Amino acid sequence: MDQIWALEAIYKVFDRRSIFYEEMRSQLNGKCTVHTLFKDFDKTDTTYTIEEKWMFLKFMHSCGLCFPLKANPSDPDTLYTYYVFPEFLTSTKPLLVRSWFRSQRVIVFQKQFEFLPYYPLHTFISKFGTKTTYDCFWRSGILIYTDVEELEGFCIEADFEKHTLTLTLDESIASEWYEAIVSSIIVHGDKQNAEWQLISGKMQNHESPFEDTMPKSTSDLENLPDVAQKVPPPIHRKKKIVISYAKEDIGALKMLEIYFKGYSNEFDYWSDQNQDNKSGWKETIKYEFEHADGYILLISPHYMMVDKKIIHEKEIPTILKRQKEKSVPVINLFVGAFTLTSSHDVSVFNSFNKGEVMPAEESKAQDFINRFMRDEILRKFI
């Protein structure tokens, strides 16, 4: 991979003027799905394929810019996987971390730097963030348990104004883990090359020949098990309606979208016409259909043709499953005359005004859509 080309792509979304940067700072608090990140790549002035976007993400991960947050550590990455970007995390130390400090007997070390940039700590958080839960890290620090049951662990915290790193260890693990931890924190250009200073506490001297006091290595730190993560709480958002249609009915879709745009403060909507970048469209369609809050099916003879494989083999089965499992509302909107029978899967969905067909005449079609918006969307969907 051309690293310069990849870096240019990454800097476009990390630019302080970018939509992604603003969203991560003000709304997402440093955590977003792969899908959100990929959509922001689409908002740049360059078109990237889905494969290129995955390469960019892996490159960002390898550079210490981010790391995945998974309920099951062994799960593969998908468009639904959350990624954490330490640069955008909250600056407030989490309550769980503050509680740990109060409950443990600890030893504290500190190192002074001539200048301490953000990247050493953020790289450390990205490398070891999977070893702890998302309520144990923040923009300037991370708490990692070496023994979850005993709540034994250590905390690394930076003060970027004073240019110091502080290492706080549980007293019982300090002699074993100290070297491994400080060896894992690399600050390039550290001209002072100062030593870590003991600020408080006392290192234990284990004299028992039966106790394993061999110091841990950096590989021991890296081999700590990944933990099952809690998925971040959902961010308040508007409901999203997904529209399923046949390309021959694009005119009806466009007319419907005109009305939808007038209610942009009430709800969002999506059809594959909203996708600027056509690469990776199958994954995007799958994601949107699996996460919709409601569906509108534009029923017509074209829509019901059996050779519409995406509609009948992908979209409708997903809608049926979502309605059964989540009671997601679905409405058939007839944009062409067609008689549904019990053999048609979509016959189980409610039809607007008992299957009334959108008139061809524009003024009558506008009245039809206005009634649909009033009686179905605003009263039942929103």
- H helical segments located in the chain: 3-14, 19-23, 34-42, 50-62, 95-103, 119-128, 174-183, 218-222, 250-261, 281-290, 309, 316-326, 362-372
**Long-range CB pairs of 191-196, under 8 A, 24+ apart, other chains included:** 191/114, 192/112, 192/113, 192/114, 194/111, 194/112, 194/113, 195/111, 196/109, 196/110, 196/111, 196/167
60-115 pLDDT, tens digit each: 999 899 999 888 888 888 888 899 999 999 888 998 898 888 777 889 999 998 88
- Among residues 148, 164, 165, the alpha carbon closest in space to that of 156 is found at 165
- In a 3-state reduction of DSSP, which class is residue 244? strand
The pLDDT score that the predictor gives to residue 161 is 92
Domains of the chain by range and CATH? 3-87 (1.10.10), 95-222 (3.30.310.200), 239-381 (3.40.50.10140)
Put simply, whether the predicted model's pTM sits higher than 0.85 gets the answer no
- In a 3-state reduction of DSSP, which class is residue 326? helix
Is the pLDDT score of 242 beyond 50?
Answer: yes
The average pLDDT across 51-68 equals 91
The pLDDT score that the predictor gives to residue 189 is 62
Is the pLDDT score of 209 beyond 60?
Answer: no
Concatenate the DSSP letters of all residues of 75-134 into one string.
Answer: SPP-TT-EEE-GGGS-SSPPHHHHHHHHHS-EEEEEEE-S---SHHHHHHHHHHGGGS-G
- In a 3-state reduction of DSSP, which class is residue 2? coil
The average pLDDT across 8-17 equals 80
